[in-house]
Copies of this chain bind each other. A is one copy, B any other.
């Protein structure tokens, strides 16, 4: 291996959406080469390419074979790696592109959602030693029988993190269309600040709350292999946000982010006898119908009758209600209700681990503003409240002001 410092960079779809953007990415890579780095680059498909390929498949089959879908979609990244190599050659940077197959990104055979089991570093290291920038197609691998597989949502991020891990790169830069992780959505909370650092766990919590820039799988991978992820924008040269372990973090905010998630609805089943097996039956039926349940709250009321409330994606509400209705008699429930105008408001922060009273403070702030809390759930590093979505913006702003400041 070369003695130069190795960096892995990943550029997402918007960062390579046009020939002009690809040329800009090439210039950025060149600046790293000039600064003495060996660079391994992972790229996604250009802009809307994947969507266009999905549309093509859709015009032929409503339920295409997953193997053939992976065969189809993997071409998107292959186009980008070739074009980026050409763009680098054009500015006199030696570079070579590789598909997932060529560098043997070995995965299981779970088409469309495969897991990486092994990556061969031989070809990459040889090319680095030859002084080349190595460009790798993200999102793709091969199974043991050399069938092409794809890694599912956030797959190119996972490819980049996995490469950084096997190549023992000190840092993995994830270039995207935002310039880092913010304390809140800047479109809602104008005082939102970019975080310099964030822990893997906080990032996972943010991803679960729909506010993550990265897909949770790549973050879990980075956490597992201790890869420092640096999320930054390919449209500027500013520093972004660095993901690291809680232990590494110099400064721990009690609350590092406020999120407001609007794509879920609340479903409540009222007055069911408090006996074992009811929740199990309900949530296993929902799971079998591939309905993702996020928050779950069960409360026991009078006469040993309980109510269960939970949140599901808004477009799963209809399916969910059908399932609940079919169980209503079996459960002896009195009513099934749903509400779509809700927001899941959350405060996330590793500091909560060692700090008391965050939940109490959050409830007080909300109640001081006459905002009713309909559901509460807590994790080690986060507190979520379901509120009426009419208060979403107001609540996010006041929580940000009180916990993070302006």
Contact = CB atoms under 8 A, between A and B. Distances in A.
Contact of A56 (B23, B68, B83): B83
A85 B101 contact: no
A60 B23 contact: yes
Contact of A61 (B65, B74, B86, B148): B86
A162 interface: no
Contacts of A36: none
Contacts of A147: 102
A291 interface: no
Residue from A19, A64, A83, A86 whose CB has the most chain B CB atoms within 10 Å: A86
B89 A65 contact: yes
A79 B85 contact: no
How many interface residues does chain A have, given as a range? 35 or more
B69 A82 contact: yes
A321 interface: no
B72 A79 contact: yes
B57 A83 contact: yes
Interface in A1-28: 19, 22-23
B146 A102 contact: yes
Contacts of A64: 86, 89
A81 interface: yes
Number of this chain's copies in the assembly equals: 2
A61 B79 contact: no
Contact of A68 (B61, B71, B86, B146): B86
B83 A78 contact: no
B81 A61 contact: no
A341 interface: no
Given A85-B71, A97-B71, A22 B60 contact: yes
A65 B85 contact: yes
A34 interface: no
Contacts of A102: 146-148
B71 A53 contact: no
Nearest to A69: B82
B19 A60 contact: yes
A88 to B, nearest CB: 10
A99 B71 CA distance: 9
A71 B81 contact: yes
